[in-house]
Structure formats: structure tokens, C-alpha cells
Amino acid sequence: MSQITDEISRRRTFAIISHPDAGKTTLTEKLLLFGGAIHIAGAVKSNKIKKTATSDWMEIEKQRGISVATSVMGFNYGDYKINILDTPGHQDFAEDTYRTLTAVDSVIIVVDVAKGVEQQTRKLMEVCRMRNTPVIIFVNKLDREGRDPFEILDELESELKIAVRPLSWPINIGAKFKGVYNIFEKTLDLFTPNKQKVSERVEITDVNDPAIDEAVGDADAAKLREDLELIEGVYPEFDVNEYLDGKLAPVFFGSALNTFGVKELLDCFVQIAPSPRPIEAEERKVEPSEENFSGFVFKIHANMDPNHRSCIAFVKICSGKFERNAPYKHIRLGKILKFAAPTAFMAQKKNIVDEAFPGDIVGIPDTGNFKIGDTLTSGETLHYKGLPSFSPEMFKYIENTDPMKSKQLEKGVQQLMDEGVAQLFTNQFNGRKIIGTVGQLQFEVIQYRLLHEYGAQCRWEPISLYKACWIESDDQDALEAFKKRKHQFMATDREGRDVFLADSNYVLQMAQSDFPKIRFHFSSEF
């Protein structure tokens, strides 16, 4: 095998996603522990902004700093090179998570055994489904009282709209939790609560081995055999291709806090999870093993130091070998750029790298050249498709409060939008600018950053909106008639596309029935 195909096939680039508090940070940390990237538990700080700190600016800044360090965590595990892409813990930054999902080849979803599928998990799974991203589910906190595992499986299937297949099975739960039988490898691990050490393994030949009865007691052993029989009867045999197509999610059970069931998850993950896959550009499908380099920017991180308005652009390498100082074409700008100090992320350290391969993420220091979604290539004109924007949940007019600084405000807003902090719409009726976000916290961050990084001051004015809908029609006259009738509620997004701002669900429904020739979309790509 050539160097490049060798490097590609050993890479696993993925994200861990969950509803806040299900255990994403804890699981990430334990995976790093196995990879030798960290040596003690507690080394990874949660990047979630604590619920109590929504107006504590220093806290937000601190958290942003931490999340740069943990944005990408690379480590070697056996022959594999693993890249975990971190996603923000706070729901208000869900857009960041959606975008990060464009840069991964697979996903691990963490679910709390007591809570089951929660709202954020459902939303993130929708994004995975749009891209047929393969997912593995880890049901966490088995050391606590929780729900019946069969019930959890049913819920996963119906709520996440994906077929499931358990590959491990818990023996009891909560105070009586005894361990996990690994269906994938036919092994038994006994649970000993311990935050750092790996569990104890019982040598068994198969599920009928009396060693199981000895280890967990007759009653639990009998129940395990009964459960496994039921599983074999109900769930079809695990088919790795169905998993790779995003149609079937293997499920593991364990306790991340106790480092239990985590190694089994990781060992199976490296075996079955995909290495970097071909990616669709607008022009054509690009294979990772192609000789020429290409990649795209999926995330931009502002510098912590407000005096230096530099950022780090995170580039996912899609094909070929990336080399330091090589001339690459920035497609949107039509410019050739060279990068002298690209960084890679290994074992929690940021180092300058000379080369990187598909599946890797490089951080490129930037002073305003990049926008989210930009493509870089060795020369060919390619445009990687990003993820569509979704309708924001909250809207506010942004108003300048310092007339002397209107330029700064405009520039600040523009750059923050390039970074993907929020969405900007311009009302066509009154020309006012509207910022749309997923949550309140984003407004606070924008206001703070505009002041500290751009010296611009703004205030928010309420606007009561329900949804922003991208509209289109095959009938140009119908489209114009709609825009005329709704002129007060028409806006454009940053690309100049028509957006209808519906102020209530009722208004939206009426518009849909009154204007059957108009198509209403809740995301910007259709």
C-alpha cells in the first residue's frame, strides 16, 4: 500500500455527541486515557458553560479558551490514529455542533440510561441522518438506577429513527450492576467501581460457560442467557455494512465514569468505524486517496487575545497530503496561499506539522481570509458542500449605539457571521439587520465580543418571530406576488436568498395554504 492509503485506512475521525450531562466529557476523557494521550482522569476540562454562568463574561471567555485546546484531540491507539472532534456542551451553540458533524466520518452518541433519548440527542441525530453518518450508541451510567435496557433499545429505535443492535449487554443495573457481556467478542467483564482502572475480565468460552454463574450468581447468569436469547431472536445479526450506511446503530452499555465498557466500545469502534470516506463536492465526488490535496474549513475559532484579531481556521483534509508551505488555492478568493504554521492536535498538544492526511484536522492561523465552508485545493476548482443553515430559534434587531463606530460594528458583525456565531438577515421592508440564534447566550457573546474585539457597541431590540423560512417557487409571478403581499416580513440572508420571517406558526400555516405554489424550507439547502 502506498503511504497515503495506509495513512487513510488507519484514521478514525469522529465526534461524541449527547444531550448535556449524559457523559460526553467523561467518555472523551476515558478514551484519551486509553490512548495514552492523558495519564490521569480529570485532565480534560468540560467545555460546557455552566448553567449558572450565563452572564459571567470571564467564564465564557475561559470556556472558549478551553475549547480551542480541546477542539480536536488526536492520539494513536494500536495501529489506529484517532481524531476526536469536540463539540460545545451548551445547547445555545448547537450550530457549532452541526458544522462539526460535516467534518467527521462517524459519531458516537452517549445516552443516559435513566433519561433515555433527550431533545438535543434527537436533533443531532437528525443531522447525522441527513448525511447518513454511521453512529454507535453508548448507553451510560449503568452504575445508577435506570430504565430496562430493552425499553431503552425500543426508545432509541423509535426516537432516533434508526435500527439498533446491542453488541454488549448489562447484567443488572444500578446498585446491583454486575458487569457487561460483550456480544461482539463473547467476553464477560465484571464491574468494579473505579474511576481509573480497567475492569476485571472473566475468561469464558461462550455464554453457557459455568464461569459466568460463578462470577455473577445463578439468577443473574440465567437472566443474561434469557436476555441474549431474546436479543438473538428479535434483532437481526449485526451487519457492518448497514452500520456504515447509517441505517443501523450498534449499542454498547457501560459507565464512563467508572471506565467500564469503554474499552470494549473503543476496540469495536476502531474495527468497524469508517476511515475517511469519499466526499461530494459540487463538481464531483472526491476520493481521499487522490493525489491532490483538498480540504474545507468547518470551524473558525477567534483568538483569546482581543488585541490580535487573529483566528484559527480548522481545515478537514479530504484528499491527498497536506504539506506545510505548499501553495494552495483558496477557491472563494481565487488566491494562492501558503501556510507556514499549520498546527495539528496530538495528545492535547498543538504542534506545528509538516504534513497531514485525509481525516486529519489542521489549524491554520488566519487574519480574516477564511469563512466557514471555504474550500482549499492544490489547484482544482472544487466546492465542498457545507451543512445548510437551519432556521434560528430566537431573533433580535441589532442596533448601533455608538454612531462614531458604525464601521467597526459592521465589520465586527460581518466577521462574527463568517465565523458562524449566528445568522444575519436583512429586512427588505425597513433595511434593519436581524440576528438569529439558537439561544440567548449567543446574543450575549456577540455583544461582548463586538465591544472587546471591535470596539463597537450595540443593543438588542425585540422582534417577535417564530421561524425564518427560505422560500422558492417554480412560478416567478407567484413568488413576486408572495413577496409583495408579505413585504413587511421579507428578508434576505447573507447570500441574498429570500427568507420569509413568520411571526407565528399560525401565520406560517396560513401562508402555506394561501400560497400553494411557494415552497417553504426550514433550512437553507433544498
Name the residue nearer to ligand G4P (CB basis): 1 or 175: 175
Name the residue nearer to ligand G4P (CB basis): 41 or 507: 41
At closest approach, how far in Å is the CB of 349 from ligand G4P? 22
Distance, in Å, from the CA atom of 117 to the CA atom of 159, rounded to the nearest integer, reads 7
DSSP code for 73: E
Name the residue nearer to ligand G4P (CB basis): 143 or 360: 143
At closest approach, how far in Å is the CB of 121 from ligand G4P? 10
Contact footprint for ligand G4P (CB under 6 A): 18, 20-26, 46, 48, 89, 140-141, 143-144, 255-258
At closest approach, how far in Å is the CB of 191 from ligand G4P? 11
Name the residue nearer to ligand G4P (CB basis): 83 or 255: 255
At closest approach, how far in Å is the CB of 522 from ligand G4P? 27
Q: Which helix (H) or strand (E) holds 416?
A: helix 406-418
At closest approach, how far in Å is the CB of 287 from ligand G4P? 35
At closest approach, how far in Å is the CB of 20 from ligand G4P? 4
Distance, in Å, from the CA atom of 33 to the CA atom of 27, rounded to the nearest integer, reads 10
C-alpha cell at 1: 500500500
Contact 49, 60 (CB under 8 A): yes
Q: Which helix (H) or strand (E) holds 20?
A: none
Contact 7, 292 (CB under 8 A): no
Dihedral sign for Cα atoms in the order 296, 297, 299, 301: positive
At closest approach, how far in Å is the CB of 143 from ligand G4P? 5
Name the residue nearer to ligand G4P (CB basis): 21 or 220: 21
- In angstroms, the Cα distances linking 421 to 305, 392, 398, 436, 449 are 18, 12, 14, 10, 11
Name the residue nearer to ligand G4P (CB basis): 11 or 24: 24
Distance, in Å, from the CA atom of 467 to the CA atom of 500, rounded to the nearest integer, reads 8
- In angstroms, the Cα distances linking 231 to 2, 176, 183, 226, 433 are 42, 21, 10, 9, 56
Q: Which helix (H) or strand (E) holds 350?
A: strand 349-352
At closest approach, how far in Å is the CB of 146 from ligand G4P? 10
Name the residue nearer to ligand G4P (CB basis): 243 or 269: 269
Name the residue nearer to ligand G4P (CB basis): 382 or 441: 441
DSSP code for 390: B
Q: Which helix (H) or strand (E) holds 98?
A: helix 94-100
Question: Cβ contacts of residue 2 below 8 Å, gap of 6+?
Answer: none
